Structure 1
Amino acid sequence: MPWSAALHAWLRPRLAAAAAVLLAALASAGCATSARQLQAQPPPELPPQVELADTPFFPDDSYFCGPAALATSLSAAGLPTQPEALVGQVFLPAREGSLQIEMLAAARRRGAVATLIPASLEALLRETAAGNPVVVLQNLGLSWAPSWHYAVAVGYDLERGSVLLRSGPMKRQELSLRTFEHTWRRGGQWAFVALPPGRLPATASEDETVRALVAFERTAPPAAALQAYRSALARWPGNPTLAMGLGNTLYAAGDKHGAEAAFRRVAEAHGLAAAYNNRAQVLLELGRRDEARAAARRGLAAAGPLRPQLLETLHAIDAPVSD
């Protein structure tokens, strides 16, 4: 079970009956929801039915729904993982649950790019239609007595008005769209997709993708980070953060010529002092001192808070060369 600092009451035991009553009440709720809208006017490109039947299943009827859901997502992404291998990374015994931030971090440590998707039911359905299982956080209890639960959305049926989940001990839980939407909304509509480097979620925003890749780069091998950055730049070629990440990763991979070219492109396109500084340092390592000096001086003109770093780079460039 997940836990968040903002969700301070942990009352999962004794809530089974209350949760069942709540689910029944939500199913008959008369308020207009996006679930109703999707059923009444589904986007024409959205298939009426989707089921990712080959998604792995790890049954769980304990507090370990976080590790089970994450293992499901990682295994579906081609990164076979058992829940037991994740317990120590995401489960907090004192809280009897898993933190959302640890779920994302553990996915990245296992080699997946974990990206939050938009908080909308349509985005969730689009992801499953694209072949991507979605890890979701639900509150199966009440606002004053929450029962937090991780599950994995693996499909839907718009005609039946249902969503399909790998959930706890149930391999194929069919839940009405409206009931699911309410339990998901009570969980903050938090959801993410874990994919191998080189694949992007169908609905992830540019900002969330940048955040996911910067976090992934911190622990990923350079080859994996390169693949991830290149796929993102193919979708958002004008993003300077992605371009800087590509340059840094090329440098980490030992490709100094490629890194220099990447930093040059960012500097020319966006005038970033950081790009001039990084390019100057790489040029110096390549023995191209005059070009390095020119790059550092151009960066200094736009340095702002990076001025001390660029002055340090210029000092290194102008230092006497030892024999």
Structure 2
Amino acid sequence: MRGAWAAACLVALLAALTGCAVQTPRLLAAPPADLPPRVELTATPFFPQEDYQCGPAALATALSAAGIPTRPDALVDRVFLPGRQGSLQIEMLVGARGRGAVATRIPGTLEALMRETNDGNPVVVLQNLGLSWAPSWHYAVVIGYDLDAAHFVLRSGPLERQQLAFSTFEHTWDRSGRWAFVVTPPGALPTTASEAEVTRALVAFEHNAPPAAAARAYRSALARWPDNLTLAMGLGNTLYAQGETSGAAAVFRDAAQRHDDAAAYNNLAIVLLEQGRRDEARRAAQRAVSLGGPFQAQAADTLKRVDE
């Protein structure tokens, strides 16, 4: 992103010679037995980087690969900051959501990159091609790996198929804090993302997403983590926003009983009242009030409405 591409690559090479790769030796000594020796997502689109615009190019690559065709120039206004001659991480995540995709952080491990690409998910990574005290930030997209050759394959800058040694990549990635994310359409989940990261990504996605898309995303995540209260509340709320009161009531009821949660009981009471099921609504509201906590005032107001 900053500085000439050739100069940045030279700095990265010099830095790689003096660094110490930690993950690479372990990975090569004991590669994951359930992964194939090589993977390459050859159908991943390629958009050569314009000056300082590796962010839009990388994001357009990931979005298009996820089935959301996008050109880099359509993203410049969303993710490119002229004053910084580049893109901040938050702009990259927000830019993906603005195109109707879910952007989820994944673990900062080489194995996570391998597992995602093996499952068909290109990974956007942030590299520091300079030094800690003279950074040269750059976004690229990991599209595969080769264990025998010990390298990753990336869409990077002007290079459609950059082959970067595991150790060299690890150095440049480590200096960025091993920051990476996967772009998926609503309803699809990254392979390696944690429950906390998926939950965080979906809550952020819901803010500007159509309720149907948000509900699809929440439902998929809740199927993987059925005991997650935040995901359940998100699904119930987005179903309710679509007018699907029966579905919302079922989700809120399950969440209320599973977690004995005041907010879930309160939302259940509201939906049941709208359905004309006043006695059930009263019991749910009473339970919400009895649980106390930060939702007690709202629950008391709901109970008052039930008794009117």
Fold match (TM-score > 0.5): yes
Provide Cα deviations, 1:258-277, integer angstroms capped at 9, x if missing partner.
11111011001101100011
Q: What secondary structure is seen at the aligned counterpart in 1 of 2:124?
A: strand
The residue that corresponds to 1:79 in the other structure is 68
Q: What secondary structure is seen at the aligned counterpart in 2 of 1:138?
A: strand
**Where does 1:293-312 land on structure 2 (aligned, <5 Å)?**
293-312=282-301
Q: What amino acid sits opposite 1:253 in the alignment? A: Q
The residue that corresponds to 1:198 in the other structure is 187
Q: CA RMSD in A?
A: 1.5
Q: What secondary structure is seen at the aligned counterpart in 1 of 2:36?
A: coil
Q: What amino acid sits opposite 1:50 in the alignment? A: V
211 and 25 in structure 1: CA distance in 2 versus 1, 3 angstrom threshold: closer
Alpha-carbon separation, structure 2, partners of 1:211 and 1:196: 16
Gaps of 5+ in 2: none
263 and 46 in structure 1: CA distance in 2 versus 1, 3 angstrom threshold: same
135 and 14 in structure 1: CA distance in 2 versus 1, 3 angstrom threshold: closer
Deviation at 1:16, TM superposition (A): 4.6
Q: 1:127·1:133 contact (CA, 8 Å) conserved in 2?
A: yes
From 195, 220, 223, the counterpart of 1:234: 223
Alpha-carbon separation, structure 2, partners of 1:300 and 1:102: 41
Q: Decide which moves more: 290-299 or 14-23.
A: 14-23
From 131, 136, 161, the counterpart of 1:147: 136
Q: What secondary structure is seen at the aligned counterpart in 2 of 1:97?
A: coil
Q: 1:15·1:141 contact (CA, 8 Å) conserved in 2?
A: no
The residue that corresponds to 1:13 in the other structure is 3
Q: What amino acid sits opposite 1:34 in the alignment? A: Q
50 and 90 in structure 1: CA distance in 2 versus 1, 3 angstrom threshold: same
Deviation at 1:76, TM superposition (A): 0.2
Alpha-carbon separation, structure 2, partners of 1:32 and 1:114: 28
- Provide the aligned length of Structure 1 versus Structure 2: 308
Alpha-carbon separation, structure 2, partners of 1:95 and 1:275: 44
Alpha-carbon separation, structure 2, partners of 1:195 and 1:123: 16
Provide Cα deviations, 1:49-106, integer angstroms capped at 9, x if missing partner.
0110110000014111101100000000000001111111111111111111111111
What percentage of aligned pairs have identical amino acids? 66
Deviation at 1:228, TM superposition (A): 1.2
Q: What amino acid sits opposite 1:179 in the alignment? A: T
The residue that corresponds to 1:23 in the other structure is 13
135 and 30 in structure 1: CA distance in 2 versus 1, 3 angstrom threshold: closer
Deviation at 1:119, TM superposition (A): 1.0
The answer to whether the aligner puts 1:221 opposite 2:210 as a matched pair is yes
From 286, 303, 306, the counterpart of 1:314: 303
Deviation at 1:19, TM superposition (A): 4.4
From 254, 259, 264, the counterpart of 1:275: 264
Gaps of 5+ in 1: 2-11
From 82, 96, 99, the counterpart of 1:93: 82
TM-score, normalisation: structure 2: 0.96
**Where does 1:179-194 land on structure 2 (aligned, <5 Å)?**
179-194=168-183
Q: What amino acid sits opposite 2:298 in the alignment? A: Q
157 and 24 in structure 1: CA distance in 2 versus 1, 3 angstrom threshold: farther
Q: Decide which moves more: 79-88 or 101-110.
A: 101-110
Alpha-carbon separation, structure 1, partners of 2:248 and 2:297: 22
Deviation at 1:306, TM superposition (A): 1.0
Q: 2:108·2:178 contact (CA, 8 Å) conserved in 1?
A: yes
179 and 93 in structure 1: CA distance in 2 versus 1, 3 angstrom threshold: same
Q: Decide which moves more: 134-143 or 30-39.
A: 30-39
Q: 1:15·1:147 contact (CA, 8 Å) conserved in 2?
A: no
The residue that corresponds to 1:243 in the other structure is 232
Alpha-carbon separation, structure 2, partners of 1:315 and 1:191: 48
Q: What secondary structure is seen at the aligned counterpart in 1 of 2:170?
A: helix
Q: 2:142·2:154 contact (CA, 8 Å) conserved in 1?
A: yes
32 and 106 in structure 1: CA distance in 2 versus 1, 3 angstrom threshold: closer
Provide Cα deviations, 1:243-268, integer angstroms capped at 9, x if missing partner.
11111111011101111111011001
The residue that corresponds to 1:49 in the other structure is 38
Q: What secondary structure is seen at the aligned counterpart in 2 of 1:305?
A: coil
261 and 30 in structure 1: CA distance in 2 versus 1, 3 angstrom threshold: closer
Provide Cα deviations, 1:277-318, integer angstroms capped at 9, x if missing partner.
101111111112221111111011112111111111122222
TM-score, normalisation: structure 1: 0.92
Alpha-carbon separation, structure 2, partners of 1:166 and 1:124: 14
Alpha-carbon separation, structure 2, partners of 1:98 and 1:217: 23
